[in-house]
Amino acid sequence: MKLKLARGTTSKTLKIFVQDGSQPAPAGLTGLSHNTSGLSWYYIREGDATATQVPLVAATVGSYTSGGFQEVSATHMPGVYEIGVPDSALAQGASVVMMLRGAANMVPVLIEIELDAVNYQDSVRAGLTALPNAAASSSGGLLTFGTGAGQVAPTAGAVVANLNLDQPVPVANPPQTVGDALNAARAQGFGKWVISGTTLSLFAPDGTTPVRIFTLDSPIAPTQRT
């Protein structure tokens, strides 16, 4: 059996097939349990110098138990067993090899698992944490080509980002940011502004909320503002 799993996978159960070596034709060996005489389970990870034994324990099919070994159904699926892979076997390294053997008439079961940095069960970003953990085009996700919100559409040789530019602009932004500059430009260009003495106030579209306040060098003939 050969598998690919994400490195660091936890609480993993596997279904294995144990062949009956006493039969002339391939057949499943039934009746094994965690305490069957001679049955053993070892694994070795890439870089390890010695194999590690997994203590076999009773388990319930469908529920994870570390070191669990349980027959699925001697009647309906003879020879199929569920095992609970210890988390430590999948925690590091690029691969791990496991073997179960030793019971009477049992053909040894060899399991090779490639441990990848990619999580094939993660449908959003495949376990790659450098990518956004959100669906493409949604909030926090990657931009995609298209005409909807959060998409980038090529048009007439240019690329236009559809970023909901018709949304209300906040009346306040952190100083020295693009939003701050846009608010000031809007108020200065076509918004309400008032001079009172040496104070110049630029207002938001509501006409009452100050966007920026400047001090003029003269109340009559100013030449600069600060």
Kindly tell me if the per-residue pLDDT of 193 is higher than 90: no
pLDDT of residue 99: 98
Distance, in Å, from the CA atom of 150 to the CA atom of 136, rounded to the nearest integer, reads 9
Set out the domains of the chain in order of their start, with CATH numbers.
Answer: 2-116 (2.60.40), 178-215 (no CATH)
Give the bridge partners for 212, in sequence order.
202
The mean per-residue pLDDT over the stretch 193-219 comes to 86
In terms of pLDDT, which residue wins out, 71 or 92?
Answer: 71
Q: What is the b/e burial string over 123-135, where b = at least 16 CB atoms within 10 angstroms of the residue's CB?
A: eebebeeeeeeee
pLDDT at 98: 98
Bigger pLDDT: 38 vs 126: 38
Going by C-beta distance under 8 Å and a sequence separation of 6 or more, which residues neighbour residue 95?
45, 46, 112, 113, 114, 115
Overall average pLDDT of the 169-193 stretch: 71
pTM score over 0.75? no
Tell me: pLDDT of 159 over 70. Answer: no
pLDDT of amino acid 176? 74
Mean pLDDT over 161-182 rounds to 64
